[in-house]
Structure 1
Amino acid sequence: MSASSRARSFDVAAAQYAANRPSYPPGLFDRVEESAGRRLAGARVADVGAGTGIATTLLRERGAEVIAVEPGEAMAAAFRRALPDVPIVRGDGNALPLAEASRDLIVYAQSWQWTDPGRSVPEALRVLRPDGALAIWWNTTAFDVPWLREQHNRIAHHCGVKPRSAVRPNDGDATRLAGLTGLRVARRLVRWSRTVSLDTHLANIGSRSAFLVLDEADRHAFLADERERLGEAFPDEWVEETYVVDLLVAARP
């Protein structure tokens, strides 16, 4: 399954995505400000791959002036319902529909992996002002939590993808993986957690691209098994999801 097909898969589950995906902790935006060397309040920000507006909402709460860029029709529609007063344009990071030198900050929340860095890095530099910055982040699995590590491995096996190593990459590897070689890059890790119902936890899993491209019966079978397994481990049917936000902030040297 190609990366582009997986990226487009979110459109079939926009409502599920909006209702169940995790948000981000306040400390993440503190680290963005520190690494970018500017406050978010008053900053002109583009949220690329904005989805249903999870990151946009938090950026606006920090006082940023945000425009969203989203390729998916259903995701963009959900965004407009949630944030009717925020401008959103259709497009992606490989060809940003934004003017040259028009943004102080460009952010990719959970979406950089769907771009071609050979195209998306030059596009970001085109749209950024001379003193602007690019912020990329992902909510990643806290591998030191045994049940989450074990679940991650089950999901990877079921979906036919390679499990991530429990040993995180070093800063140099992370920079190369992000396609940002040649820029001044700061990396920060922000740990946080949320407690959710088992239903929400399973719906969150089911909204991931690796699941959305599977046959519906296959998805349902895995989630039914996972419900039974976790129901035994968490009889009150509440689970604590622990995340480590992996943040990269890149600026011109």
Structure 2
Amino acid sequence: MNEVTGRERSQAFEADAVHYAASRPSYPPALLDFVAECLGRSLAGARVADVGAGTGIATALLRERGAEVIAVEPGAAMAAELRRALPEVPLVRGDGNALPLADASCDLVTYAQSWQWTDTARSVPEARRVVRPGGALAVWWNTTAFDVPWLAAQHERIARHCGTVPRSAARPDDATAVRLAGLAGLRVARRLLPWGRTVALDTHLSNIGSRSALLVLEPAARRAFLAAERARLDAEFPGGAVEERYVVDVLVARER
């Protein structure tokens, strides 16, 4: 299989923005509790830039905590979904490599599922430029709960179908995670937060179908995988309710 570029993956997300908004999971309350703990203050009243905001999943949670959020999103379709869901949120088009924000203008800069789309040689200095003294940047992802057998097996099936190597079930230690995230040189706290949700089978299939590895496949190949997965999960969850499990991997970085 030909290697898929980051641009092709981002374009695939744009084309599937509606399904992304409808099916992607949110995050547990413990996530923002941890971010606030690291920040050393309540999120209420904090000036926050949510970078790579997508359809606004994390943006909405930050607003619920009372944060003054500005969403930064490069994609037109994703931005349109965010505007529809959160019309009162200020939204600017841009990305983490060149933030369209003033120096020292934010208490917190967040990247929910979006840090991997940045070039850390550019995005780290940009975040440090925008964050006020005493502020922080936080990056997090919903990751596979490898200790759940059916999810681990599904993860391997997706990788095989897409012609990629399955990610190891072993998570990097804290020092390795900081290095891989490009945050070396900052004071970084990390936490792994298990959580889950129960959704209809159609929602689960839409969720996994919105992952970039499947989105970039030819439509017929994508449909074939999802049809086979429906048959498997019909047997696994005969009531039609799928118990998804995740581990949020969150890193909060501050100046030393």
- TM-score, normalised relative to structure 2: 0.97
Is residue 2:156 matched to residue 1:153?
Answer: yes
Indicate whether 1:218 and 2:213 are aligned.
no
Secondary structure at the residue paired with 2:244?
strand
Structure 2 distance, partners of 1:152, 1:64, is 35
Aligned equivalent of 1:8, options 4, 8, 11 = 11
Partner-residue secondary structure (3-state), 1:39: coil
**Aligned partners of 1:185, 1:23: CA distance in 2, in Å?**
23
Residue aligning to 1:75: 78
Point out where structure 2 has 5 or more consecutive residues left out of the alignment.
none
Superposed structure 1 runs of 4+ greater than 3 Å apart: none
Question: 2:25 maps to what in 1?
Answer: 22
Gaps of 5+ in 1: none
Q: Partner of 2:143: helix, strand, or coil?
A: strand
CA distance in 2, matches of 1:8, 1:103: 29
Aligned to 2:143: 140
1:252 counterpart = 2:251: no
Q: What's the secondary structure of 2:217's corresponding residue?
A: coil
- Is 1:185 paired with 2:177? no
Whether the 8 Å CA contact 1:4–1:114 is kept in 2: the answer is no
**In the aligned structure 1, how far is the partner of 2:18 from the partner of 2:199?**
17
**Secondary structure in 2 matching 1:29:** helix
- Alpha-carbon distance between aligned partners in 2 of 1:78 and 1:138, rounded to the nearest angstrom: 20
Counterpart Cα distance in 2 of 1:116 and 1:156: 24
Q: Deviations over 1:102-144 (max 9, x none)?
A: 0000000000000000000000001111111000000001100
Q: Which amino acid aligns with 1:67?
A: I
**Aligned-pair RMSD on alpha carbons?**
0.8
* 1:87 matches 2:90: yes
* Structure 1 Cα separation of the partners of residues 127 and 213 of structure 2: 27
What letter corresponds to residue 153 of structure 1 in structure 2? E
Equivalent of 1:237 in 212, 225, 240: 240
- Name the counterpart of 1:55: 58
Match of 1:173 in 2: 176
| 2-structure distance, mates of 1:136, 1:157 | 28
Shift of 1:7: 2.1
**2:11 partner amino acid:** R
Could you give the per-residue CA deviations for residues 43-62 of structure 1, whole angstroms, max 9, x where no partner exists?
A: 00000000010000000000
Could you tell me which of 179, 192, 198 is aligned with 2:201?
A: 198
> In 1, distance between residues paired with 2:171 and 2:72?
30
- How far apart in 1 are the matches of 2:81 and 2:49? 18
What's 2:129 paired with?
126
Q: Deviations over 1:199-253 (max 9, x none)?
A: 0000000111111111111100000000001111111111100000000000000
SS at match of 2:16: helix
Aligned residues: 253
CA contact 1:48–1:92 (8 Å) conserved in 2? yes
Amino acid in structure 1 at the alignment position of 2:59: T
Structure 1 residue 104 corresponds to structure 2 residue 123: no
Local SS of the residue matching 1:248: strand
Distance 1:27 1:240 in 2: 19
Displacement of 1:9 after TM fit?
1.8
Paired residue type of 1:115: T
